[in-house]
Amino acid sequence: TFVVTENCIKCKFTDCVDVCPVDCFHAGPNFLVIDPDECIDCTLCEPECPANAIFAEDEVPEGQEQFIALNAELSKIWPSITEVQPAAADADAWNGKEGKLDLLER
């Protein structure tokens, strides 16, 4: 399965949802997650993310392993998202900032 990691937080560009053939993205207030039970490992979303936040489960960067469980948990709670939305005005400024996990809104 593929996993959305920390750099999506407060960027939420949503380019990823446009290419997913099985619509497995789910959206919270400032972060997106992938439902691991729906993802078919097509790899299409990974290069679409301007924040490089999407990784195969076994390639999640060191220190971000907790996002595997977060995607599984939050995808069951948050609604599905299938259409690109405008990113927040300050999304580019947050791209690459560290320590964003504390800013994740549920």
Q: From the CB of 76, what's the least distance to ligand F3S, in Å?
A: 18
Residue type, 17: V
Total count of residues recorded for the chain: 106
Nearer to ligand SF4, 56 or 93 (CB): 56
Interface with ligand F3S: number of residues (CB under 6 A): 14
Stretch that binds ligand F3S, among 35-43, 44-52, 66-74, 96-104 (CB under 6 A): 44-52
Residue type, 54: I
* Sites of contact with ligand SF4 (CB under 6 A): 2, 19-20, 22, 24, 34, 39-45
Q: From the CB of 29, what's the least distance to ligand F3S, in Å?
A: 12
* Nearest to 100, CA basis, from 53, 59, 50, 68: 53
d(CA 50, CA 35): 20
